[in-house]
Structure 1
Amino acid sequence: MENQLAKIFTFIDEHKEDMVQDLRTFADLEGHFEEKDNVLKARTWLQQQLEKEGFACRFREVADDRCGIMIAELGMDRPGKPIIFSGHCDTVHYTGSFGGENPTVIKDGKFFGPGVLDMKGGLIIALYVAKALNFIQYKEHPIKLIVVGEEESDHVGNDGNKILTAESKGALCCFNMETGQMNNSLCTQKKSQFTYYLSVDGVGGHAGNDFLKGRNAINEAVYKIQKIIELTDLSVGTTVTTAVIKGGGHTSGIADHCEVVFDVRVTNENEAKRIMDSMYEITDETFIEGTKSKLTYYRAKLLPLQETKEAIRLLDFVNTVAKDNGFDEFGKVHLGGASDAGNMAAAGIPVLDNCGIIGQYAHNKKEYGIINSLYSRAKIFAGTVLKIKEL
């Protein structure tokens, strides 16, 4: 087995330039989640690379205007349970946001470009894990890649989240190839996200002549905002953020309408219920007589990733592989962002998130990935698959 591991490492070393070129090609195929045709082009390119390695690809559609989910499977007749690598090929950036064709740039060991970090770099790592395992003729466990085409939309208006859970059932484990952390930590817990919309109607008028007659919607909203943000409880990881405020229209007017948007992050269903009940109670409470308020909400379909004993055991095993082969051990981190990792974990399997290329500034035009982490992580995760029967 040690000889096979050495062959894996040699394979990765001999294909470093190919990994970089493939990431450049993949990232240059830009595609915001609303740009179905563009995302399809990126997914098709990845499909072609996987099929060259013997993967059978099938597709689960989610909506007419979205790129669906690709399930690529290799060696499904192998005796072990499938090992999943997952990710998404859409971005938060619209095509052209980085300027012109072929927008990726390499400088000082860093790869800049749309989706390089979030998260096409991670999918390239998964691709080369499969390539390296094929090179040594690995036959123990099926390898399954689940590639989503609209993760950045939070699966709004479709059941992509349910498809991910169903496709993950019966697997041994999953590595979600999201953005690698700069501190070399893997994520074992993520939050669920709610967006709340508060609307307040009052009575408008002239700020000087109608001060006593008016019912200021902004002032009513401010009273509510103060109570709502106090719902934050960092001891259990709950955060409530005032994200957007819109109201008024004239510098000498009393606002007759105000809208406020809140971002809420929770780690469990008890907190989700506490926040929801409290939000409605505060909305129903009137601070300025004559105003009326309404609350609506949307919950992202990215389920919270709960830390489990099985996930910690998997992390410990990955660290053993890393340490035994001269790599730094991974730390453990809990993150406030949401991802599809929770949807896979809902199938009852251990999931490690943020296994992709290390970098910074996801969802930002400064986004970049550190090239050397492509190679090291491909080696570590291929080595993990090779030795996973020791888990």
Structure 2
Amino acid sequence: MTTGLSFDAEAIADGIARWAAVESPSFDPAGVNRMMDLAEAEMRALGANVERVPGTEGYGDAVRARLDFGHADDRPGILVLGHLDTVHLVGTLDDTLPIRRDGDRLFGPGVLDMKGGMYLACHAVRKLLEYRERLNLPLTFLFIPDEEIGSPSTRALIEETARANRYVLVPEPGKPAHFVSGRHAFLRYKLHCYGQPAHAGVAVGVGRSSISVMARLIAQVESWSDVDREMTFRVGTITGGTFVNVIPTECHAEVLCVAPDMDAFAEVQQRMSSIVSPDPDVRVEVEAGPVRPLFQPQQATLELLEVAQRIARDVGLELGHAQFGGGSDGNFTGALGIPTLDGLGVEGTGVHTKQEHLLVSSLVPRARLFSGLVAALSDRNA
């Protein structure tokens, strides 16, 4: 039981703001590692055994920390899984998204997705252990450096760690009325177009524009979206060309595809693999990238959900559950069949925008929910 626990929303908000003040876009390993330093210090203060996993493929480190409470090293326990990278580039703090408070709203890069959730989880566990000193299950935290780009360097680490645990709790942004008991699949692709050079000022010539062909392909790909089915194809980045007076020979684009079920998953793969160049003089290549597998609620997750819903009611929250888009590292663990509950973080809006903010009023209920869930799972397996 955790009825004697007390939380201070302002203290939690201050801690989240400190973490958000360290800019950590996925492609900046130095910035991500500064965040990992903070996470490592937090875990060492809890008395955890901390492993710093060096980054690979040009990404930042991961931090894995375990509190075993005297249990056997190989005893499966509870995994708290989340990331400390963001989609916000260095300079965002000084420009479009400074840390600021507006009534109940705390703005800043990553305050919602998902530094806020991971800090809240750390804080909730710290308060829980001050209250009861030990748990009946080991507790592991895994901090990921590259989730926003599909976790290309850490998927194996996530799956290995999850397999060694009984439950996975993911403090991604919370939904006002739902737990996240499933996630749509995410498939990433890169499109490459290779044209033929010429001076752009010549009306008729040998040049073939890679950008022109890419524009036609983007219109084709995005037209495949079926919003009613929640199956989407969206191009997020495009690069190409050198000078305006040169026919561009190369153009590259990144595509994010979302599939809510296995039929849609297969359809995405079929459509993307069928792409051909509309111009025989321009070569097109389709490069498949990281995939987040479909996570659909299984019986073990629904049993975990029942415990969470009971705790939620105890703290004044009435939460249903559903499968959502907006992938997370919970896709990997849920797809493995390990009981996984997602959306356990702070509430707010504006994820991946310059209006990202959390609701300070959500911090205490969410901290009580998280600490109560960890305690209940521990006691359930005493």
Task: Sort the TM-score into its range (normalised by shorter chain).
Answer: 0.7 to 0.9
How much has 1:74 moved relative to structure 2? Answer: 0.9
Is 2:310 the counterpart of 1:320?
Answer: yes
Query: What TM-score does the superposition give when structure 2 sets the normalisation length?
Result: 0.83
Gaps of 5+ in 1: none
How much has 1:142 moved relative to structure 2? Answer: 1.1
Whether contact under 8 Å (2:88, 2:352) holds in the other structure is yes
Is 2:167 the counterpart of 1:178?
Answer: no
Structure 2 counterpart of 1:238: 231
Whether contact under 8 Å (1:57, 1:71) holds in the other structure is yes
How much has 1:250 moved relative to structure 2? Answer: 11
Whether contact under 8 Å (2:135, 2:375) holds in the other structure is no
Q: Could you say what secondary structure the match of 1:196 adopts?
A: strand
Q: Could you say what secondary structure the match of 1:96 adopts?
A: coil
Q: Give the total of aligned pairs.
A: 376
How much has 1:162 moved relative to structure 2? Answer: 0.5
2:149 to 142, 150, 153: 153
Whether contact under 8 Å (1:130, 1:143) holds in the other structure is no
Structure 2 counterpart of 1:165: 159
Q: 1:89 to 1:282 in 2, by over 3 A?
A: closer
Structure 2 counterpart of 1:6: 3
Structure 2 counterpart of 1:90: 85
How much has 1:235 moved relative to structure 2? Answer: 6.4
How much has 1:190 moved relative to structure 2? Answer: 3.0
Query: What TM-score does the superposition give when structure 1 sets the normalisation length?
Result: 0.81
Paired AA for residue 150 in structure 1: D
Q: String of CA shifts for 1:306-342, please: whole Å, max 9, x gaps.
A: 332222332232111111x141222323332222112
Identity of aligned residues (%): 20
Matches for 1:149-228 after TM superposition, within 5 Å: 149-156=145-152, 158=153, 160-199=154-193, 201=195, 210=204, 224=217, 227-228=220-221
Structure 1 counterpart of 2:120: 125
Q: 1:272 to 1:25 in 2, by over 3 A?
A: same
Whether contact under 8 Å (1:117, 1:362) holds in the other structure is yes
Paired AA for residue 91 in structure 2: G
How much has 1:77 moved relative to structure 2? Answer: 3.4
Q: 1:67 to 1:217 in 2, by over 3 A?
A: closer
Partner Cα separation in structure 1 for residue 65 and residue 225 of structure 2: 41
Matches for 1:3-82 after TM superposition, within 5 Å: 4-8=1-5, 11-12=6-7, 15-63=8-56, 65-75=58-68, 77-78=70-71, 81-82=76-77
Q: Could you say what secondary structure the match of 1:84 adopts?
A: strand
Paired AA for residue 343 in structure 1: F
Partner Cα separation in structure 2 for residue 255 and residue 137 of structure 1: 64
CA RMSD across the alignment: 3.5
Q: String of CA shifts for 1:97-145, please: whole Å, max 9, x gaps.
A: 1218x95222202211121111111112211221132122233111111
Q: 1:179 to 1:200 in 2, by over 3 A?
A: same
- Of residues 362-371 and 202-211 in structure 1, the stretch that sits farther from structure 2 once superposed is 202-211
Structure 2 counterpart of 1:345: 334
Paired AA for residue 147 in structure 2: E
Q: Could you say what secondary structure the match of 2:4 adopts?
A: helix
Is 2:373 the counterpart of 1:384?
Answer: yes
How much has 1:258 moved relative to structure 2? Answer: 6.4
Partner Cα separation in structure 2 for residue 258 and residue 326 of structure 1: 53
Is 2:102 the counterpart of 1:113?
Answer: no
Q: 1:215 to 1:78 in 2, by over 3 A?
A: closer
Q: 1:71 to 1:109 in 2, by over 3 A?
A: same
Partner Cα separation in structure 2 for residue 74 and residue 246 of structure 1: 46
Q: String of CA shifts for 1:158-183, please: whole Å, max 9, x gaps.
A: 3x110110011131211111122345
Q: Which of the two has higher C-alpha Rg? A: 1
Q: 1:94 to 1:225 in 2, by over 3 A?
A: closer
Whether contact under 8 Å (2:69, 2:134) holds in the other structure is no
Partner Cα separation in structure 2 for residue 277 and residue 98 of structure 1: 41
Q: 1:346 to 1:188 in 2, by over 3 A?
A: closer
Q: 1:81 to 1:129 in 2, by over 3 A?
A: farther
Q: 1:204 to 1:70 in 2, by over 3 A?
A: same
Matches for 1:273-292 after TM superposition, within 5 Å: 273-283=266-276, 286=278, 290-292=280-282
Whether contact under 8 Å (2:36, 2:62) holds in the other structure is no
Matches for 1:369-380 after TM superposition, within 5 Å: 369-380=358-369
Paired AA for residue 133 in structure 1: L
Partner Cα separation in structure 2 for residue 232 and residue 117 of structure 1: 27
Q: String of CA shifts for 1:48-104, please: whole Å, max 9, x gaps.
A: 22222221111222317432111111125337731111111222223331218x952
Gaps of 5+ in 2: none
Paired AA for residue 238 in structure 1: M
Q: Could you say what secondary structure the match of 2:134 adopts?
A: coil
